[in-house]
Amino acid sequence: MEPLIQVRILAPEPVFQMPELPEVETIRRGLEPHLIGLTLQSLTVTDQKVLDLSARDGRLAGLEGQRIETVTRRGKYLVIALERHYLIIHLGMTGQLTLRDPRLPDAKSFERTVTGLEWCEQHAPDRHTHVHILLGDGRQLLFRDIRKFGRVYVLERVSNELLAFFETHHLGLEPFTPDYHLESFLAGFKNRTLRLKSLLLNQAFVAGVGNIYADEALFEAGLHPARKAPSLRRVEKERLFLAIQTVLERGIEFGGTSFRDFVNSEGEKGTNQEKLYVYGREGEPCLKCGTPIVKTVISQRGTHFCPSCQPRRR
Ligand SMILES: [Zn+2]
C-alpha cells in the first residue's frame, strides 16, 4: 500500500490589496455629495459576472428612473438607497468606483502600480468597466474591476431587507456606531478560538477590517498576531477594542491606504501609505523601537508585526 503523502499548498500572497473600511468610507464620502438627489437614468452592464443573482435578469434595469436618496456604508459594502431599491456594491479585490464627467478629459492611460493595479484621475469605459451608470446630470458612475471579485446587488427597499442582507453576509460589529461598544466587543470573543490575525479578518467579529488594518490594529494594541483569542486578558482586549477604531479613524483621515492602487471616487489617490506602522514595512525599522519589522504568514495571509512591541507573551 502506498503511503499517504500530504502536500500542503499555500495560496500565494494575493498581489492585490482589497479596499477596507477606510477606503470604502473615503469613496462613500467622495460620492455622497455628488449623487444625492440625482436620478439614475440608465444602466449598462457589459459583464454579468460582477452581478449577484439579485441583480441579474434585468433587475438592475428596474432601478432606472429612480432618485438617489442616500449613500451609506456597512463594513466594506457601499449602499446606494434609491426610491424603491438598494443598490449595494462590494469592491472585492480590485474594484474601482469612479465618477466620470464626459465634458472633462479622460486620462490617456492607466498608471501601472507596484501591486499590479491601475489608476487614473478619470477614465473612459474600457474592457474592465463592467457597469456604466448614467446619472441625471450627464455624469457617469463607472464600476471597473479587473479581477471581477467585486459584486453588485439589488434589494427591494422594504423593511428589514437590508438587515437580513447583512445578516446573510455575516457582518459583525460596525465601528463608529453605537453598536460598537466594549461590552459587545468582549462578547464577540465568546467561543472564538482563532489567532488574533484571523479573528480580525473575520467580518462576523468586526466588519470592515482587512489585512492592512488588522496588522495595524494589532501593532497599535501591542499584541502578537499569532496569539489565540482566548489567551487575551481583559486589559488586552480593551486595548484591541480601542486600537481598531484608532487605526480605522487614521485610515479615513488620510483618505484610505494608498498602494498606488486605491483611488477614491474622484480619482484621487489615498495618502495613508506613509501613516502605516507595520503593513508593507518588512525589514524596515519599527517606528516606535527601531526593531526590524517581521513578515510572516498567518492563515495564508501576509502578516507584519514588530517582535519587540508585539511579543508573543508579555
Ligand atoms: Zn517596535
Say what the pLDDT of residue 36 is.
Answer: 97
Reply yes or no on whether the pLDDT at 116 is more than 70: no
With vertex at residue 222, the alpha carbon angle to CA 217 and CA 223, rounded to the nearest 5 degrees, is 80
How far is the centre of ligand 1, averaged over its atoms, from the C-alpha of 298 (Å)?
19
- State the SS3 of 21-50: HHHHHHHHHHHHHHHCCCEEEEEEECCHHH
How far is the centre of ligand 1, averaged over its atoms, from the C-alpha of 174 (Å)?
29
Number of residues that make up the chain: 314
Reply yes or no on whether the pLDDT at 264 is more than 80: no
Say what the pLDDT of residue 11 is.
Answer: 36
pLDDT tier for residue 14 given thresholds of 50, 70 and 90:
very low
What is the SS3 assignment for 3?
A: coil
Say what the pLDDT of residue 27 is.
Answer: 86
Say what the pLDDT of residue 119 is.
Answer: 67
Reply yes or no on whether the pLDDT at 57 is more than 70: yes
How far is the centre of ligand 1, averaged over its atoms, from the C-alpha of 294 (Å)?
10
Query: Phi first, then psi: what are they for 271, rounded to 5°?
Result: -125, 15
- Distance separating alpha carbons of residues 129 and 307, to the nearest angstrom: 43
Q: Cβ distance 238 to 266 under 8 Å?
A: no
Q: Which residue has the higher pLDDT, 173 or 260?
A: 173
Q: Which residue has the higher pLDDT, 115 or 117?
A: 117
Q: Which cell is 236 given?
A: 488586552
Reply yes or no on whether the pLDDT at 307 is more than 90: yes
Reply yes or no on whether the pLDDT at 108 is more than 70: yes
How far is the centre of ligand 1, averaged over its atoms, from the C-alpha of 30 (Å)?
35
How far is the centre of ligand 1, averaged over its atoms, from the C-alpha of 290 (Å)?
6
How far is the centre of ligand 1, averaged over its atoms, from the C-alpha of 217 (Å)?
14
* Cα 303 off chain centre by: 17
Say what the pLDDT of residue 15 is.
Answer: 46
How far is the centre of ligand 1, averaged over its atoms, from the C-alpha of 308 (Å)?
5
* Cα 89 off chain centre by: 11
Say what the pLDDT of residue 273 is.
Answer: 57
Q: Which residues does the annotation mark as catalytic?
A: 19-20, 76, 301
Q: Which residue has the higher pLDDT, 114 or 239?
A: 239
Mean pLDDT, rounded, of the chain: 87
**Side-chain-facing half-sphere of 272: CA atoms under 13 Å:** 30
Neighbours of 109 (CB within 10 A): 9
How far is the centre of ligand 1, averaged over its atoms, from the C-alpha of 287 (Å)?
7
pLDDT tier for residue 257 given thresholds of 50, 70 and 90:
low
Say what the pLDDT of residue 121 is.
Answer: 75
Lowest mean pLDDT of 27-31, 211-215, 263-267, name the range. Answer: 263-267
Say what the pLDDT of residue 16 is.
Answer: 57
How far is the centre of ligand 1, averaged over its atoms, from the C-alpha of 116 (Å)?
30
Neighbours of 49 (CB within 10 A): 11
